[in-house]
Amino acid sequence: MAGYDPEKDKKLKEWKNEETGLLISIHQYGEGEPKVQLGPRILKKKDGSDRAPSKAGRLSIEDIMWVYDIIDEVKDELSDLVGPE
């Protein structure tokens, strides 16, 4: 069995919370089923540039409210990608 191949890992869609840096994305590995990923979190440096990505960790109320606001869009996009079962 072969190991992980980054060439097969595709990011299909991404949303970013500009306030908290939290990312939500839809990924697909090879011909597998598309799946939602929470995180990483990309925070800003004092100079305004992006820091290195870090784990999403625990979610604040701001994160939860943002996820709540976009969850229907994420669900619709994922449903379109997965197709009927």
pLDDT tens figures, 29-81? 999 999 999 999 999 889 988 899 999 999 999 999 999 999 999 999 999 99
pLDDT of res. 48: 86
Which segments of the chain does DSSP mark as H helices, in order? 61-82
pLDDT of res. 69: 98
User: What pTM was computed for the model?
Assistant: 0.86
* Mean pLDDT of the region 6-25: 96
**Beta carbons within 8 Å of 40's beta carbon, 6+ residues apart:** 23, 53, 54, 55, 56
pLDDT of res. 85: 65
9 φ, ψ to 5°? -90, 110
Peptide bond into 40 cis (omega under 30): yes
* Mean pLDDT of the region 12-30: 96
